[in-house]
Amino acid sequence: MVLGLMTVRPMAFSVVLHPVFLLAVLPLRASPAAVLGEPFQWMPEILNVTVQSKLQQVNLQWTVPNLTHQELNMVFQIEISRMNTSNIIWVENYSTPVKWNQVVHWNWKSEIPLECVAHFIRIRAVVDGAKDPPQRSWSSWTSWKEVSVQVSVEPNTLLIFPEDKLLEEGSNVTMCLMYGEYVYNVSCKLQEKPIHEEPLDSHGLIRPFIFSFVWTEILEEPKNFSCETQDFKTLKCSWEPGVDTALAWHQQDSQNYSLYESFSGRHELSDHRNSHTWQITEDSQETYNFTLTAENNLRKRSVNLIFNLTHRVHQKPPHDVTLETPGATEANMTWKVDSRGDSYMLLCELELQHQREVLHAHNVSVHVSGNYLFRDLEPDTEYKTRVRCADANHFWKWSDWAQKEFRTPEAAPSQAPDAWRHVRSENGSHVVTLFWKPLLKSQANGKIVFYNIVVENQDRPTESVHYSVGAPALGTQLSLDPSSYKIHITANNSVGESPESVMILSNNSGHEEVHEKRIKGTKDGFHISWEPVSGDALGYVVDWCAHSRDRHCDLQWKKLGPNTTSTTITSDAFKPGVRYNFRIFERSLQQDAQLIEKQTGYTQELTPLENPKVNVSNSTSNSFILSWLDYASDFQSAFVEGYRVYLKSKDMQCHPKGRRTSLPDPEKKTFTVENLRPESVYEYLVVPYTSVGLGPNETFAQVATPDENSHRLLQIILPMTLCVLLIIIKNPHLIMHVKDCIPDVLEVINKVEGPKTQHIGPGKAHAEDIPSKPLSVPTENCSSGPVPCVFFENFTYDQSAFEAGSHGLIPGPLKDTPLQLGLLTPPDKLLNVLGKDYMKSLAESPTEETSLIYVSQLASPMCGDKDNLATNPPMPVHCSEYKMQMALPGRLASPSLSENNNPTSRTLSGQGEQ
């Protein structure tokens, strides 16, 4: 077995102690004291030496055999050596009274694990104190007793001692490492850090090593230890326990707490970490001396508390709290307390709160019950009141609060509504819009239910009209005759009505004409000032629209005193680029309001965002008029100082009048452009200009001047058109009706090959290509019997049918191109559609490249089902006019006929019905 962390293999170690006995031949009659001398008289005798490995503790037991006194105070000197008897590591003097035949106990804890090295212990004694029989010196030492723990280390094995050592945070521990054979290069680390090592044996034979490290929590002393009573039956003691020292993996429980009362000698273990309830006995004990002890496996911590019971009374909260409200501004509060008699005085503290704010606090002395009257309360308001009490003679602490919430009753409104009006004339009447602001809560004294409006005609005092407007409306509109009126407005709740707000409307209200002054605002608002008109003004009113661009302007007003001739208007609703109009009214003593001034301005002017929409009128061959009457300059983002008209011709040449013309009058919204050329195109643009810039740069609009002779053509064409219409109306039979004939069809004839060397001249066809008799189209029978029809044939040639090598009917009408639609028009217009170039190319084409198809026209009565063709050929009947035929190019031929396309039902369908 090897001790230490050395990489070399140390020598085996063993210690053999050889006790030496002193043999002496003593005379049988001699006493031990006489032979050995006086020091042997009270020499201790070691009874037992044991080791507690878990605690690393040595327990020593001894006795004093020759003690003749009943009790003697003695001092025992104890020495402990390590590894050998000459290496003394501990000397201690232990004083204790000793009785005859008493076993004395003593223990010692080693800082080095006892498993790592052997220890030796011995003891001697001396009498302590002058009153005892004198002893001139120490007794002799006892023999050395070895203290060791036998440990067997197997080869290839490591052992560390002590095992499962429980330590407090911040304390040190010495550990040793023991390893068996075949173990080399051993090193130790704690949290990845090497551990400091020291050899135990300075001779180099045995080299175990020790190292230190820090452990966990330290048991703290309890804090804020106090005890109190509420009923003189129990004491409730509480404290702050501090950190929990429990270690679950080491099976270490939390520290426990116990209370010891020294006067009664009672000791109780607490079931809780931070409190304990102590039962008060009936022995009328007034003073208590408590010791609170916290203890775990490592140590104990204690605190003391001494107090008089009557000085530690924590009063119970008041009870039976009531509140009565005899009026809208008063409340009477009553409560009761737990008292020990009329001689026991309590001090109670009261608080009145509104929305968590303490409005009132007061102290009241009571014996059994108390009351207090709160005054100057607000009507229709929620309050909370609370009360707590404490011992007035020996104040310890306040009781818990007892609280009560209540609401005061409503009262009639105390303030007249702040009202204003807006008057405009409409169809000979005054349209009066009344506005009023909601009363403050402190003014309304309750919930406003409705507003009363009384309108008195000043010209006819007996006439008055009553209106009622329900809350929460803040305005109404009236239509009044052009007379003088006195208007009364009151706010009403469930209790009563407010004082009235009075306004006078004169005959000319809404017709005042005053000068408008421009003002410049800032980002904070507008500063407005004015000159008083009369010397007996009751006050002034400034009104404006908070949202001047909206249809609902949200009228705002500010009332000022008679000595105020300026004010600053601020609002979060003010925005840059918006014009705000302010009106200043002077209120007379008769409550009449006269408009004395208008002011308008911007908090910040911005460049215009839009140009006027310009209309062109009175256009002649050499002039036209531009107008933008609908352009509302009042709603622009800055003051419009005028307009600029830009004009240029189509070829980008400037007009002789100039490229730009400025109109400095913003009210002038028309401009006449003259000296123009007939039948010419001009471009124009109108933009406003302000102090901060021009309107947006937009695309120029165009206008064309007419021909100067165009009016003469109208004088000729209009009479002729009227004459033609009159002739048609008087002779309706001139109109041809063709709805009784069936439409045309196309008949495809198989190509007849001719000599390829022959040349066909323009407009000529091969005789071989013309069939002797075309295919006839059968007709259907009418319900009255068979009615045959004849058809006249003329041929329009199409090359595509011959190239396809097919023979059939081609349905119409032709819808693919404009040329195909042209076939349905009169022949003279069809020739125009085809054009000269195409006819020329068609005539120059050779015979072998141009194949023609016959297109026939026929007529037949329209009856029955035209989708089914008759099986017998019809008899000739004259019922169709002859239609001119033309040559049709192959690329304009219709698609081949499918089985679902019936030629009779699709060809020119609808044309005969027109």
- From the number of C-beta atoms within 10 Å of its C-beta (0-12, 13-18, 19+), residue 859 rates as buried
pLDDT in tens, 188-211: 776 677 766 666 653 333 344 444
CB 603 within 8 A of CB 523: yes
pTM surpassing 0.75? no
* Number of CB atoms found within 10 A of residue 872's CB: 10
Q: Calculate the alpha carbon distances from 581 to 101, 518, 521, 547 in Å.
A: 118, 9, 12, 10
* Number of CB atoms found within 10 A of residue 533's CB: 12
DSSP 32: H
Q: What is the secondary structure of 548-612 as a DSSP string?
A: TTSSS--EEEEEE-TT--EEEE--TT--TT-EEEEEEEEE-TTSBEEEEEEEEEESS----S---
Bridge partner residues of 551 (DSSP): none
- Closest to 657 measured CA to CA, from 665, 647, 668: 647
Residue 35, SS3 per DSSP: helix
pLDDT in tens, 600-658: 999 999 999 999 999 999 989 889 999 998 888 778 899 999 999 999 886 555 444 44
- Closest to 13 measured CA to CA, from 175, 187, 148, 156: 148
Q: Calculate the alpha carbon distances from 12 to 2, 9, 154, 180 in Å.
A: 7, 9, 13, 10
193-194 and 809-810 as β-strands: parallel, antiparallel, unpaired?
unpaired
CB 275 within 8 A of CB 238: yes
Residue 96, SS3 per DSSP: strand
What is the pLDDT at residue 386?
A: 96
Q: Where are the beta strands (DSSP E) in 187-308?
A: 189-190, 193-194, 198-199, 209-211, 223-228, 234-240, 256-261, 266-269, 275-279, 287-295, 300-308
| Residue recorded with tokens 């090295």 | 117
Query: Do you know the residue count of the chain?
Result: 914
* Number of CB atoms found within 10 A of residue 796's CB: 17
Q: Which residues in the chain land under pLDDT 50?
A: 1-39, 130, 132, 202-214, 654-658, 738-914
Instruction: Give CA–CA dist 298/173, Å, rounded.
Output: 14
Instruction: Give CA–CA dist 376/48, Å, rounded.
Output: 89
Instruction: Give CA–CA dist 509/433, Å, rounded.
Output: 12
